[in-house]
């Protein structure tokens, strides 16, 4: 880690200047910026653990710790906050649908973290080009897309039925707020919408009384209030997150357990994390005008090990957050000292069980409105990767394998090998996309339409990287 040098007088930034990762403003301003980074990542970081059935208080605490760990691994050169990753939500939904426990969920993600770290080691020594040969944009975009769109039944079957009118209202507010709000408020639209939905649900409880709808706790249609703060009133202000007691519906700190079937279900999320981290490193490098390609492997190692550490105690998977890039672009402060401050602040928030109980009591209808947008965004980020890399779907090499894999994943098609092992949904779709693409790549005619740029179908007589790929933009998932 660097010993940050003071930028100028520590108070002002001259026009045209930026605060580099190795610099800082005064500690008061740095801590304030750290708090701004925490708020920016806040909404998604605790919404996704709730969706995955994990403890949001523990997720926030571990996000702070993992951010500090990541900064150590990358030697303080990549300013990033590690919030909760959405890449595993689809796989976790499949695990839950098969009766998997929280321990089996975190065990499966822990293995994925180790796999990501191992890939990071290979990239560190072999160079980033190997990633884009194995996972060209057409493949990466497809995997990101199928992860998002596979989640549509979760919204339709779990969250939306809990309170359809609140869900619809929250959805409309989130869409409008994301477009209408500017600057920092636009970047925290998820958080602001969640607060709105929470208050709306409470007002409806007071004015209209109980609602009769699906209750996921009872797994039946019951009469209940939208907002239940019984757990909030009994929670202490200061303390560790609770320890898991799933027999009584409590999910918190716990040791992971491992199932090969469930591990296979979440492994495709590793591909999305590679795309996220690579895109984040490229974005930060472009903004700061520095060459961070040699740090690509370290970024993957840091994120992989951070995910391993977080899930080893029952926490959520981590990833670098695009929201925080927006904060840096707006403030012109790229100091990793601000992220160190953010990490400490998040850890302190994680030591409040009452804070965690408030988050856990988020009404299901509110989550319905938010997830219908978030899951769609995840899917469309795959299309964004295709667009930015000019993927040509007039080329059958790109069209056919991707079409098959997407339908298998979105339709949750199942391939049964035995009574104890089968592949379906995201896992099977990912295998089809990667396997069939590379098989078709081998047998396809070597004509000018696809010979030069794998995964896009574009012709590049003199590829900039020398390996026929265009690795400058790979997309971002949060």
Neighbours of 179 (CB within 10 A): 10
Residue ranges with strand state E in 321-361: none
Q: Tokens for 328?
A: 């840096």
367: Cα separation from own chain's centroid: 16
**DSSP secondary structure string for all residues of 355-412:** HHHHHHT--HHHHHHHHHHHHHHHHHHHHHHHHHTT--TTSHHHHHHHHHHHHHHHTT
- Using one digit for the tens of pLDDT, what is the confidence trace for 260-295? 888 988 888 887 788 777 767 776 776 667 777 788
Contact 166, 368 (CB under 8 A): yes
**DSSP secondary structure string for all residues of 76-116:** T-S---EEE-STTHHHHHHHHHTT--HHHHHHHHHHHHHHH
Name the more confident of 411 and 404: 404
Instruction: Compute the distance between CA of residue 146 and CA of residue 382 in angstroms, rounded to an integer.
Output: 8
User: Residue 448, exposed/middle/buried by CB under 10 A (0-12, 13-18, 19+)?
Assistant: exposed
- Using one digit for the tens of pLDDT, what is the confidence trace for 73-132? 988 888 888 888 877 887 888 888 888 888 999 999 999 999 999 999 988 888 767 777
Closest CA to 102 of 52, 56, 48, 151: 52
Give the angle subtended at the CA of 319 by the CAs of 314 and 325, to the nearest 5°: 140
Q: Tokens for 138?
A: 């057409």
Q: Give me the chain's average pLDDT, please.
A: 79
- Using one digit for the tens of pLDDT, what is the confidence trace for 136-191? 888 888 877 887 787 787 778 777 888 889 999 999 998 898 888 876 676 667 77
Taking CA atoms, 132 is separated from 92, 106, 365, 454, 464, in Å, by: 27, 28, 40, 9, 13
- Using one digit for the tens of pLDDT, what is the confidence trace for 307-339? 999 999 999 898 887 666 666 766 778 888 888
User: Residue 112, exposed/middle/buried by CB under 10 A (0-12, 13-18, 19+)?
Assistant: buried
Residue ranges with strand state E in 206-333: 211-215, 220-224, 318-320
- Using one digit for the tens of pLDDT, what is the confidence trace for 24-82? 888 888 888 787 777 667 666 777 788 788 888 888 899 999 999 999 998 888 888 88
pTM recorded for the entire structure: 0.70
Q: Tokens for 118?
A: 């191992």
Longest dimension (CA), the chain: 69
């Amino acid at each position: 880690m660097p010993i940050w040098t003071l930028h100028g007088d520590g108070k002002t930034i001259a026009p045209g200047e930026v605060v580099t990762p190795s610099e800082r403003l005064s500690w008061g301003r740095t801590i304030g910026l750290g708090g701004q980074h925490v708020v920016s990542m806040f909404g998604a970081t605790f919404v996704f653990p709730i969706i995955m059935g994990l403890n949001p208080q523990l997720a926030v605490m571990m996000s702070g710790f993992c951010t500090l760990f990541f900064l150590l691994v990358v030697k303080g050169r990549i300013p990033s906050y590690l919030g909760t990753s959405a890449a595993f939500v689809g796989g976790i939904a499949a695990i839950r649908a098969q009766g998997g426990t929280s321990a089996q969920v975190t065990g499966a993600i822990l293995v994925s973290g180790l796999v990501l770290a191992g890939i990071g080691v290979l990239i560190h020594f072999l160079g980033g080009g190997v990633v884009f040969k194995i996972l060209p944009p057409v493949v990466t975009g497809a995997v990101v897309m199928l992860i998002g769109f596979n989640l549509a039944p979760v919204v339709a079957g779990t969250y939306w039925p809990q309170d359809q009118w609140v869900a619809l209202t929250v959805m409309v507010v989130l869409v409008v707020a994301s477009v209408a709000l500017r600057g920092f408020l636009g970047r925290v639209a998820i958080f602001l919408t969640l607060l709105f939905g929470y208050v709306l649900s409470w007002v409806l409880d007071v004015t209209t009384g109980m609602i009769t709808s699906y209750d996921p706790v009872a797994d039946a249609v019951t009469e209940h209030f939208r907002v239940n703060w019984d757990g909030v009133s009994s929670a202490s202000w200061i303390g560790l997150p609770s320890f898991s007691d799933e027999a009584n519906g409590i999910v918190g700190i716990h040791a992971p357990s491992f199932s090969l079937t469930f591990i296979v279900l979440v492994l495709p999320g590793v591909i999305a994390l590679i795309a996220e981290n690579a895109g984040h490193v490229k974005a930060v490098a472009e903004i700061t005008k520095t060459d961070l390609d040699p740090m690509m492997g370290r970024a993957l190692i840091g994120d992989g090990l951070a995910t391993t550490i977080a899930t080893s105690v029952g926490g959520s998977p981590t990833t670098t957050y695009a929201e925080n890039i927006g904060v840096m672009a707006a403030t012109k402060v790229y100091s990793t000292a601000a992220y160190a401050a953010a990490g400490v602040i998040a850890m302190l928030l994680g030591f409040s069980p009452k804070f965690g109980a408030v988050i856990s009591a988020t009404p299901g209808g509110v989550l319905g409105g938010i997830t219908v947008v978030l899951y769609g965004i995840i899917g469309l980020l795959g299309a964004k990767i295709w667009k930015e890399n000019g993927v040509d779907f007039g080329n059958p090499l790109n069209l056919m394998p991707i079409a098959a894999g997407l339908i298998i994943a979105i339709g949750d098609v199942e391939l049964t090998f035995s009574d104890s092992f089968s592949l379906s949904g995201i896992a099977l779709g990912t295998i089809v996309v990667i396997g069939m693409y590379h098989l078709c790549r081998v047998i396809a005619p070597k004509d000018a339409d696809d010979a030069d740029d794998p995964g896009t179908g574009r012709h590049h007589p003199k590829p900039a990287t020398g390996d026929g790929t265009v690795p400058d933009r790979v997309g971002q998932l949060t």
